[in-house]
Amino acid sequence: MISPLLQAGLGAASFTPNPQAIGGSVVVTALVGLIPLLAFFVLLGAFKVKTHWCAIISFLLAVVIAIVGFKMPFGMTLAAGTQGLALGFMPIIYIIIAAVWLYNLTEVSGRSDDLRSVFNTVGKGDVRAQALIVAFSFCGLLEGLAGFGAPVAIVAAMLVTLGVKPLKAAAVTVVGNAINVGFGAMAIPVTTAGKLGGVAPTYVANVMGHITPFIAVFIPLILLAMMDGKRGVAQLWPLALVVGAVTAAGHFFTASFSYELTAVLASLLGFGAAYLFLLVWTPKTPDEYRSQVDAASAPSASRISLALAPYVLVVVLIAFTKLWKLGVDIDQALKATDLKLKWPGVYGQLLNADGTPATSAIYNLQTLSNPGTWIFVAAIIVVFLYAATDSEGRYPMTIQKGFATLANTVYNLRLSILTIAMVMALAFVMNFSGQTTSIGAALALTGAAFGFLSPTLGWLGTAVAGSATSAGALFANLQSTAAAGAHLNPGVLLSANTIGGGLGKIVSPQNLTIAATAIGEPGTESEILRKVAPISIGLLLFLGILVFAASQGWMGAYLPELVVN
């Protein structure tokens, strides 16, 4: 929080973002608004500047542009940055620390060896098959339940444990996670986009469920190509098609009747399909991708249970807190403990175009409803469980060592924490000053062609803020307004915004930092970016074509009839 003394010095001048702030031109304003984001990616990708310095430099550029170009009051600009810092620490960094600590417990205890043996059995000894299942289906399950970076942090680390090279593990994870982001954390991005865009969230989700299958069915093939090129695709394409097709079908059907569970059920179906298919089909596996597990030391049922315990606990606890409705709605009860804080120096002074206070200046402090809290609970249980059971002396562990691992985790994450905090500060300055909105307004000038460009807004918003929910909050109303002006279906554009947000998360600096940290190689964000950026852009272009076809009515009766709030 900001101290009362600092708050008093922030001034009380009101401010309304203006998409024509510079030269009275939407286009010029948008080009200037792009500068901080372009600076970040150019510094990171072309000059290999350390990620935290990219974030700091881009933040300072955004502050200068906000004050000089967009005429945002100096005090309000700084206050906007502090709100971004707050959101960066809670819930995002909080979740990351919990997730990485949970994974580190399996490493320091030595039980990661048993975990590798479990997936070796499921994946028929093929590391690529194991990685495909974990990066796509298990990651999708976690995304549907928790979101907010936890799936990427957990899964990237798991892939390294399975024997995938670190940078490849990070790249495969962020790509495999993308298609489920729009339905992440009980489909919060869908709900946000629908409510703010004036279209029933159920309709937005239904349209998404008609579009995402075209992408979901190919993601497993892309993951195989990333891991082992043409050979990987040639040797494992049957498994990839089965997992992709079943997951795609899960998206299609679940989004139409219970959209909050789309990512969860679709991912479980994909995982089940992979397991059953591998019971009757065995891939051809080259030596370098064959799991090396000593058959003589195959883990017992007890050791398998303990190896899986951290991840089973996470799924069970988060599923319970999100889905339990019998007698008491646990999710709503936990959300009732959230604190809504009107951010000092911003709330009441940052105004919408109609003169009302912008609700985005209300910070939601999540405690019990935060997935990170339950990941911490799972980790604490694991500490005591591992300390109490050493599997006949094979895996000695103490409670002190378990909690010392938490301290080491925080220390090792220090630069990543700085990076994420500064990226969130950058995002809030860009959003509140109108820099991001001006980019969206410029794209909306394209008329009917906006159907093709519509997903770019969600992509851009998530690339900046690291959150598809934030991208929806930022651009939902603009998407609906542009749809009305161009006589397009607003539900289609809102769906495009949300799906595009998931694809934008592939290149989000925040997401890249989470992945780099999880694999134990902070500072490699630029290398990961170079691997995944072409895939993200390629999928975005494909999505643009699908959305354009849908917005022009070329999909006919395939899309559901429009339903408004």
Number of neighbouring beta carbons within 10 Å of residue 53: 14
User: Within its chain, how far is the Cα of 399 from the centroid?
Assistant: 32
Give the span between the Cα atoms of 19 and 475, in whole angstroms.
Answer: 13
Can you give the pLDDT of all 565 residues of the chain as single tens digits? Answer: 444 444 444 445 899 999 999 999 999 999 999 899 889 888 877 787 887 898 899 999 999 999 999 999 999 999 999 998 998 888 878 887 888 788 889 889 988 888 778 888 888 889 999 999 999 999 998 898 777 788 898 899 989 988 899 999 999 999 999 999 999 877 888 988 888 788 888 899 999 999 999 999 999 999 999 999 999 999 999 999 999 999 999 999 999 888 888 998 999 999 999 999 999 999 999 989 988 655 556 788 899 899 888 888 888 888 888 888 899 999 999 999 999 999 999 999 999 988 999 988 999 998 998 888 998 999 999 999 999 998 888 899 999 999 999 999 899 888 878 887 888 888 889 889 999 888 888 888 887 788 999 999 899 888 877 788 878 877 887 788 788 777 888 999 999 999 999 999 999 988 999 999 899 898 899 999 999 999 999 999 999 999 999 988 888 777 777 655 4
Q: What is the pLDDT of residue 299?
A: 84
Q: By the 8 A CB rule, do 137 and 274 touch? A: yes
Give the span between the Cα atoms of 93 and 413, in whole angstroms.
Answer: 9
Only one residue has tokens 């691997």, namely: 531
3-state secondary structure of 18: coil
Kindly list the distances between the CA atom of residue 538 and the CA atoms of 59, 237, 506, 533, 546, in Å, as whole numbers in the listed order.
28, 20, 12, 8, 13
Tokens read off for 207: 């349209």
In 359-413, which ranges are continuous DSSP H helix?
A: 371-388, 399-412
3-state secondary structure of 350: strand
Peptide bond before residue 189 is cis, with ω within 30 degrees of 0 = no
For residue 142, the surrounding DSSP H or E stretch is helix 139-145
Kindly list the distances between the CA atom of residue 475 and the CA atoms of 444, 469, 472, 478, in Å, as whole numbers in the listed order.
11, 10, 5, 5
Tokens read off for 461: 């918003």
The full set of domain ranges for the chain reads 79-413+459-558
Q: Which of 187, 180, 256 is nearest to 220 (CA)?
A: 180
**Would you call 389 exposed, middle or buried from its count of C-beta atoms within 10 A (0-12, 13-18, 19+)?**
middle
Tokens read off for 18: 């203006």
Q: What is the pLDDT of residue 348?
A: 94
Q: Which of 523, 411, 466, 457 is nearest to 91 (CA)?
A: 466
Q: What is the pLDDT of residue 2?
A: 44
Q: By the 8 A CB rule, do 543 and 537 touch? A: no
Q: What is the pLDDT of residue 295?
A: 58
Angle, vertex CA 545, rays to CA 143 and CA 259, nearest 5: 30
Q: By the 8 A CB rule, do 381 and 313 touch? A: yes
| Residues 521, 525, 528, 533, Cα dihedral to 10° | 170
For residue 255, the surrounding DSSP H or E stretch is helix 219-257
Give the span between the Cα atoms of 182 and 177, in whole angstroms.
Answer: 10
Main-chain phi, psi angles of 69, to 5 degrees: -85, -45
Tokens read off for 137: 């289906």
